[in-house]
Structure formats: C-alpha cells, structure tokens
Amino acid sequence: MADTHNGAIGAASTRVRKMDAAVTARLRGDTAFRVLMLALSFIAIVPLALILVYIVVRGASSINWAFLTQLPKPMGEAGGGISNAIVGTVILIVIASVISIPLGILAGIFLSERSQSRLGTVARLSVETLMGIPSIVIGIVAYTWIVKPMGHFSSLSGGVALAMIMLPVITLATEETLLLIPMTLREAALALGVSYPRMITRVILPSGMSGILTGVLLAVARGAGETAPLLFTAFGSPFMAANIFKPMESLPHTIFYYATSPYPEWQALAWGASFVLLVLVLALNVITKLVTSRWKIQF
C-alpha cells in the first residue's frame, strides 16, 4: 500500500534517507550530551565536597577539650580555645530566638489565616522582601537602632540583627505548614463549639508543629552562620561573654578574625572553629530531616 501516501514518493524517500543517515550522529550527540551533564555536575559538587572533607579532617584534629573550654590566647602564643565564641553564639541565638520565634509564628499564623485581605498581601510581600535583604544591611539597621544610641557595641544589638534575619524564615515556614492543613480540620473543631483562639492554638498549631519546628531549626542554622550583621553590632571580644550590653564574640566572627590574621596559631583556631560551626549547621539540618520524617502529620 505504498501508493497510499500522497505527495511525491521519490522526494519523500530521499528526505527519509537523509534523516536516517543522521541518526547515528544524533545518538552519539545524545550520549555526548549526557556525559557533558554528568561532567558539569561533577565539577559543581565534587570539588566543594572534597574541600569540606578536608576542613572536617583538619579541623577535627584541633578539637580537644582545651579547645572547647579555653579562651583564646594573645597573639603569638600557642594553644587557646574558642569557648567565648561558642558561648557567644549560643547567647546571640537565644536573644534572637526570644524576639523572632513568637513574632514569627504569630505572623505566620496571620498570613495563613488572612492571606486574602489587603493587609495579608502587604504583610506577605514584606516578609518575602525581608527574606531577601542582604544581611550586612540588616547589620547597619541594628547599628542605627541600638549601637548608635547606646554608644558602644553590644550583643543585644547583635541578637536583634539576627532576629531580623531569622524572622522571615520562621514566618514563611509557619505559613507554609499551616496552609497545608485542610480546611475540614478547622471546620470540625469549630463545629464542636471550640472557640477560634482555641481552635488555632489547640488544634491547628499542634498539627503543624513539625513544620514550624523545622522552620525554627533552619532559621537557627542560618542565624548561627551569619557574620556580616555582627561586624558592627556584637563586634567581637577576646573575653568570655557575660553582659548583653557589651561586645561579644561569636563562632562565625572568630573564623573571620582568625582566618584573615597572619598568625598560623590563630589560623589553626579558625580551622577548629570552622569544624565546630559546620558540625552545628549540619546537625541542625539533620535534626530537621528527622523531625520532618518522624513527626510530620500527613493529611
């Protein structure tokens, strides 16, 4: 039934023959493309992964009890530790959390409940914008709000800066989680005669707890790693953190300070501090995954 095809058969079969001949070339091109994608992906991931392994190995060798519990020694002297940095990071995060967690969750609930209203749209735009503000700019703002009036650096200002960085992360995670909860759950509660506040706090929030917790952990991981906003708020200090109205050392600042110094003893501290910070951030990410997989309520 070859004559069922209309059009010039001769021209058609030449065309087909030309296409057929090209097939081997196209198949080779297909394999080449796949190899290229693999190669580029390899370049994208492997060098960095190797470097991280190097940091872990090199940094781990600096870790001992003295390192974690001692204060840094003056320049030129061997030994010393980063205890003030560790404590400083903890205190800064605590200050930041006290401010950002309640407000963040509250704003997140608002966004999930009132997303259609005008204020809802404005608020959501604001939060997304806040998320994208460079952290150094946040540092400037915290400086003008707290450091300038006080006249000196303080960990309080550092905590406020970190709070502004953590806030949008928590808010958006809370909103996302709560939006996943089906309307029917809310209606079931209300139909039982439960008041609106109770419905939110006793039914909705607990159901979304894993997602909210994830948001908080991710925000903490981000805050703990930020240096720029602390450069002129918490500043840094060779002493143990004691007073929130005084400057305070932090892990990322320690890394920055010692890594850019010309003393090998201090650079060794930077390796160790990097290791500690990486372990902290990694641990938080792993815990986040565990929380999601074990506690997440599926609807």
Partner 1 sequence: MEDSVLTNGKTILETRALVAGFDGKDIVKSVSLAVPEGRITAVMGPSGCGKTTFMRCINRMHELAANAQVSGEVLLDGEDVYRINPILLRRRIGMVFQRPNPFPTMSIYENVVAGYNLNGARMSRVERDRIVEETLRRVTLWDEVKDALYRRGTFLSGGQQQRLCIARALAMKPEILLLDEPTSALDPKATAAIEELVVSLKGVVTIIQVTHNIPQAARISDYTAFIHLGELVEFGPTKTLFTVPKDKRTEEYLSGKFG
Partner 2 sequence: MKSERTSDTAFRTLLVLGGIAVSVLLIAIFLSLLLASRGAIVANGFRFITGSEWDPVTNSFHSLAFVVGTLITSLIALVIATILALALAILMGEYFRSGPLSAIMRTSVELLAGIPSVVYGFIGLFFFVPVVRVLQAALGLPPFGVGMFTTALLLAFMILPYSASIAREMITLVPSDLKEAALSLGATPSETIWKVTLPYASSGIMGGVLLSLGRALGETMAVTMVIGNANVLTFNIFAPGNTMASVIANEFSEASSNVYLASLIEIGLLLFVVSTLINIVGKVVVNRMAAR
List residues binding partner 1 (CB under 8 A): 1, 4-7, 11-12, 15-16, 18-20, 22-23, 26-27
* Shorter beta-carbon distance to partner 2: residue 41 or 64: 41
What does 3 bind: partner 1, partner 2, none (CB cut-off 5 to 8 Å by kind)?
Answer: none
For residue 227, the partner it binds in partner 2, partner 1, none, with Cβ less than 5 to 8 A by kind, is: partner 2
- Contact 230/139 with Cβ under 8 angstroms? yes
Residue among 222, 175, 184 at smallest CA distance from 203:
184
**Which residue lies nearer to partner 1 by CB, 12 or 60?**
12
Q: Which does residue 5 bind out of partner 2, partner 1, none, counting CB within 5 to 8 angstroms by kind?
A: partner 1
- Least CB distance to partner 2 at residue 230 (A): 10
Residue with structure tokens 């999601």? 292
Min dist. Cβ of residue 273 to partner 2 (A): 9
- Nearest distance, CB of residue 252 and partner 2, angstroms: 5
Residues with Cβ < 8 Å from 174, sequence gap 6 or more?
Answer: 104, 105, 107, 108, 109, 111, 112, 208, 211, 212, 215
Yes or no: say if 96 and 159 are a contact pair by the CB < 8 Å rule: yes
Nearer to partner 1, 31 or 116 (CB): 31
What are the residues facing 72 on neighbouring strands? 80
Cβ closer to partner 2: 3 or 294? 294
CB of 248 to partner 1, least distance (A): 53
Q: How far is the CB of 135 from partner 2 (least distance, A)?
A: 7
Q: Which tokens sit at 243? A: 């007073």
Q: How far apart are CA 190 and CA 192, in angstroms?
A: 5
Phi/psi of residue 296, each to 5°?
A: -70, 130
Smaller CB distance to partner 1: residue 26 or 294?
26
Q: How far is CA 141 from CA 72, 155, 213, in A?
A: 30, 15, 28
- Residue 85 interacts with which of partner 2, partner 1, none, CB < 5 to 8 Å by class: none
